[in-house]
Amino acid sequence: MALLAVLMFVASCSVPTAGQSTAPTASGWSVSPTPSVARPTSEFDADQVLEVIRKEGFTVFSPEVPETGPLRAFDGLCTGSVNGRCHRVFIYDGPTRVGAIDAGIVEIINQSGKEVILQFPQYKVGDAGCCPSGEQRKHTGRMVDGKLTFTPPIPADPNNPETR
């Protein structure tokens, strides 16, 4: 059992090979609408999408995929993250990734297949990592003219109430 734990730890700490990306740090917040990874082809294949996300260094827990509509979101946690504050929400329109939103903490609170609602806890100065005291911020994503658009727009640091 101890050997298995050591092997899992070593595997999660390995250096990526050429063409493989590393997981972002909590300070690497960004909204990246254009992915730099291979896209699944033809029909939406959740298993293939989850494999692409895993290869990028993320683990998706209990993915909920809407049964209707093409818009789907997956909450990925950086594999091996010690404090759990390294999330990326991967958003697909059918088989094509249309966005990836990085945050320290984010929650997909609803997705209908036509829209995705994300919620970001807000940390005020002096808040402990466990306890954000600001009002949570919600953003609704939809496809508009072939582009993923959030209302209101997601700031570069979505967990910071000072950014709008």
Q: For the chain, give the mean pLDDT.
A: 76
Strand order in the sheet with 134-144: 107-111, 115-122, 134-144, 147-151
Q: Which residues contact 145 (CB under 8 A, 6 or more apart)?
A: none
Tell me the per-residue pLDDT of 91-126, one tens digit each, with 9 for 90 and over.
999 889 999 999 888 999 999 999 999 999 999 999
Tell me the per-residue pLDDT of 8-51, one tens digit each, with 9 for 90 and over.
333 333 333 333 333 333 333 344 444 444 444 457 788 888 89
Measured CA to CA in angstroms, residue 144 lies from 73, 98, 104, 114 at distances of: 16, 12, 27, 11
CA dihedral (99, 104, 110, 111) in degrees, to 10, reads 20
Q: What is the mean pLDDT of residues 63-79?
A: 82
Say yes or no to pLDDT of 65 above 90: no
Of the candidates 137, 90, 140, the one whose C-alpha atom is nearest the C-alpha of residue 111 is 140
